[in-house]
Amino acid sequence: MNALNQKIFNLKTFFSHDKRDNSDGIIHLKAEIHKSIRIDMEEIYPETRFTKKTDSTYLMEVTLPRNNNTLLGTMMCFGNRVKVIEPVDLRDLILDTVEEVRNAYK
């Protein structure tokens, strides 16, 4: 399977609801964010709970539908100002995507 097909497979797997995971098609997102994007995240995900961790970081927690097709792009567009903690499969998908982008610039 080439890299593009693998990426499409990973995205389809992540955003599809697998009855074995008992999640009822939802994602419990936990991310550490920089204070400079807190308002942006609040506007994008109004139901978000924020907990101040340090003077410059917050813990962001929100429950979203698994079929939220903009989630990966939203997390990626903020670069190093957001670090996904959970779900692990989203975190892994971001790491894979970052590696692919990095390899494209070698």
- Structure confidence at residue 18 (pLDDT): 47
CATH class entry, domain 22-104: alpha beta
Asked if 71 contacts 32 with a C-beta cutoff of 8 angstroms, the reply is no
pLDDT digits (tens, 9 = 90+) for 52-68: 999 999 999 999 988 87
- Which residues fall within 8 angstroms of residue 50, CB to CB, at 6 or more apart? 38, 41, 42, 58, 59, 60, 61
Average pLDDT on 17-31 reads 69
| Structural domain spans, the chain | 22-104
Q: Does residue 21 register a pLDDT over 70?
A: no
User: Confidence band (pLDDT; 50, 70, 90) for 20?
Assistant: very low
